[in-house]
Amino acid sequence: MRALGRTAAAAATALALLLTGCSDGGGGSDNSGKIKLRFQSLAWQKESVDANKQLVDEWNRGHPDIQVEYIQGSWDSVHDQLLTSFEGDEAPDVIHDAADDLADFAYGGYLADLRALLPGRLAADIPQQSWRTATFGDGVYGVPFLQEPRVLIANTKILKASGVRIPSPAKPWSWDEFRQITKELTGRGEGKAAYGVAWPLREPVSVTLNLGVSSGGRLFHRGADGKVTIRLDEGDEVMPDTIRDQVNTDHSAARTTLGMGGSDTLPGLFGGRYAMVPLGFSYRQQVVEQAPKGFEWTVLPAPAGSDGLAQGVSPQTLSVAEASPHKKAAVEFIDFLLRPENMVRLARGDWMLPTGTAALADPALHTAENGWATGVALAKGLRPAPAQSVRGYPEWKDKVATPALQEYYSGAIGRDQLKKRLVDDGNRVLARYQR
């Protein structure tokens, strides 16, 4: 990543040159000369929507010549909606999305390369590993600002009564130990649950890829020619083999949850049916809001592999449409949204972690309450998701990997069949995008 490897001073110099030497295009203004920007947000939780709208209002009050219109989008339909808006030349100026959804838009020329537009402060504040998630080829096509590690949300009463070792970010469980612990937690009586763990795997691909990073899993390998091929190595097998064994050999993981979403497993966690559930960090909000009175819970790190607590992550991003006539103004608005104090507001509203180092150091995020401190401790191990820049990934995920992994976890197919489908069928899919 050449451009974002510059020092903050160099980035600031580049920005100064930009401000003196470049200007926006002529569209998107009213007769008074005011710039009008459209910002499509995917915030959906009330706290997050409120935080985004408040920040838009604050910007508009302070910038009468650059007014921002808030547009509510949806995670459920954002990819198709954006594709339609790009092709119809109706895309919003500022686009909220996730890094793993940007590749086709970036390579397709729909998103602006932000390298020359980024203020030095923002470029320096976000770590290189986060910038890599929005880097495609030589360009940077989004600003990663919120990230979400996967954690174990556990029933404290069951864990304490069982006598098992409680992990911490400093001393996490290994995958082997995690498997053994879930066996010990499964059964009847004090310190037991019907199942030691519930894996909600209705959408199994990102969970598998991102947690597999801890054991050195990559799956996608880019050659010297720039082309990506799929290969299933030993490190890729640790995490999926653990789940398959828990479900089909140990019976310590509930088979019925394999087709569930994360929210579907919470009643079973609250009721003591499952001792713990691997979930995204933001699910803590639902636990706080939905747990019955007296339910005691804790946030534990996901198991560690040969690469420690490393995890793949696909941060939420803010991008600028290539067709926007006001790219500079759009980036100025993004810079305002992502000032450290504002990034903290957005992170707390979404119950996620900020990417910015200044925001991540905020004392409000280092409290033990609701597991915030555990999440912050995991932030340094977050890495770009393995499929981050792979063209054709959405098709591979939907048509090949999702059904193959679902069948593998349920015991319907074995590892050889899984490998054939993920690798052989998968490489045929990717080849079409790399001709």
121-153 residue pLDDT tens: 999 999 999 999 999 989 999 999 999 999 999
> 422 and 230 in contact (C-beta within 8 Å)?
yes
Q: Which long-range contacts (CB under 8 A, 24 or more apart) does 333-341 make?
A: 333/37, 333/39, 333/59, 333/66, 333/68, 333/94, 334/94, 334/122, 334/143, 335/119, 335/121, 335/122, 336/55, 336/59, 337/55, 337/59, 337/145, 338/122, 338/143, 338/145, 340/125
**Predicted local distance difference test score (pLDDT) of residue 25:** 36
R_g over Cα of the chain: 22
**Residue 335: left if φ>0, alpha if ψ -120 to 50, beta else—which one?**
alpha
3-state secondary structure of 124: helix
What pTM does this model have?
Answer: 0.89
User: Which range (209-223, 231-245, 380-394) has the least confidence?
Assistant: 380-394
**Predicted local distance difference test score (pLDDT) of residue 97:** 97
Output the six-digit token pair for 146.
Answer: 């919120």
> 272 and 207 in contact (C-beta within 8 Å)?
no
91-124 residue pLDDT tens: 999 999 999 899 889 999 999 999 999 999 999 9
C-alpha–C-alpha distance, residues 350 and 51, integer Å: 9
C-alpha–C-alpha distance, residues 39 and 389, integer Å: 24
Q: Which of 271, 38, 229, 13 is nearest to 118 (CA)?
A: 13
What is the average pLDDT across 77-97? Answer: 95
Q: Taking each helix axis from N to C terminus, what angle separates 340-350 and 327-337, rounded to the nearest 10 degrees?
A: 70
> 400 and 422 in contact (C-beta within 8 Å)?
yes
Q: Which of 317, 356, 6, 329 is nearest to 143 (CA)?
A: 317
**Predicted local distance difference test score (pLDDT) of residue 31:** 62
**Predicted local distance difference test score (pLDDT) of residue 335:** 98
DSSP label at 425? I
